[in-house]
Amino acid sequence: MLALILTNLRRRAGRTVLTSFGVGVGVATIVALLSVSAGLTRSAAGLVNLGGSDLGVFQAAVADPTASLLPLSLVGRLEHDRNVVGATPLLLIVGKVKGSPPSFVFGAQPSGFVARRLIYVSGRAARGHQAVVGSVLADDLHLRLGGTLVVGGHRLPIVGIYHSGVPYEDDGAFLPLGLAQALAGDQGEATTIAVQLAPGVSKALAQRSIQQQLPHTNVFTDPGEAARAGANTVLIQNATLVFIVIALIVGGISVTNTMAMAVLERQGELALLSAMGWSASRVATLIVGEGVAVSLLGAGLGLLLGVIGSQLLVSVLGAGEFVSPAITAWGLGRGLLVGISIGVLGGIYPAWRVTRMPPLKGLARA
């Protein structure tokens, strides 16, 4: 039956290609949206547990965690919490590293636990108008001790290269907090406050306590919370659901139209198959199989276009500075599943029509 399905699709190559392309566009959009959503979640993962922190405190009601701004006065309030043993303000500068726009620059207090836990492969901690760079960023940009890191047009001497084991940190750079604030124009503010809890303290308990003390903030313990709270992530997730529904409806209608036309054109052929002993269910399976095959061709094209288009979508959304699309097997699998579903839905009505068609009537039209 597979050979017959492929033969029938080749017989109407133009129609097959156009229908597959329509399905592919829908699948590509879904894959791209899922990739961007996964990228936002991954970004949130890197921010919530920076420096091995247990909690991350962010400004409430912002589009994404990197847009958060908090006054440094909150640090003192957190340090007086009996559940907290360390609170370190961090200021993030995104999209400003020359040669590596996705890299984050972290402004941190040298005395804070985040900066203290950095392991220096060479050199020392930054002071004043100096920078230290992660081992990954140093390799990517061929940076060395005594070299220069350009951040937002400012040339900063590199006095250390560190390794922390955290991808976002190792692919970024650290500056003294005051210098980062001056470069970003955010004096007296931080993007987030990394919190280290006392031994044995429950994260959930500390989260509730801090949230009550600081009602206009979001306190996150895991990346999922940060992703769900970000307006960009929620918007993309909702848009993905809408596009899935639209793709199923429009794609299903397109495949239904294609297969219905094929059934009308091939009534004699299908009636002949019935006369040769093919059961109604077998003929119906042939029609559904052709619909699924068309959709699979479109889904394959859509997966390729989705992977390519995900980076373009990030740029269009203006999120390229801090988000890289995350192409996952689950995201590709969902795109493929949508493609298969379109084929099944599109083949149901034409297959039903075939089962209702009298063989003699079809032979008369042959």
Q: Rounded mean pLDDT of the chain?
A: 82
Task: Write out pLDDT tens, residues 66-92.
Answer: 778 999 999 999 988 889 999 999 998
The candidate with the shortest Cα–Cα distance to 255, out of 265, 245, 247, is 247
Listed in sequence order, the residues at least 6 apart from 331 whose beta carbon sits closer than 8 Å to its beta carbon are: 31, 34, 35, 38
276/366 Cα distance (integer angstroms): 15
Quote the pLDDT of residue 174.
96
Tell me how many degrees the CA angle 147-149-153 measures, rounded to the nearest 5.
Answer: 135
* Average pLDDT estimate for 255-267: 78
Task: Write out pLDDT tens, residues 335-365.
Answer: 889 888 988 888 888 888 777 766 545 444 4
pLDDT above 70 as % of the chain: 84
The candidate with the shortest Cα–Cα distance to 293, out of 25, 12, 16, is 16
User: Under a CB-based contact definition with an 8 Å cutoff, are residues 156 and 129 in contact?
Assistant: yes
57/78 Cα distance (integer angstroms): 10
* Average pLDDT estimate for 179-195: 92
Q: 312: phi > 0 → left, psi -120 to 50 → alpha, else beta; which?
A: alpha
Q: What is the dihedral of CA 117, 120, 123, 128, to 10 degrees?
A: -30
Find where tokens 């029609």 sit.
287
- 2, two tokens: 């597979």
Task: Write out pLDDT tens, residues 282-330.
Answer: 888 888 888 889 888 988 998 988 888 877 766 665 555 455 667 778 7
pLDDT above 90 as % of the chain: 26
SS (H, E, C) 4-36: HHHHHHHHCHHHHHHHHHHHHHHHHHHHHHHHH
pTM, two decimal places: 0.60
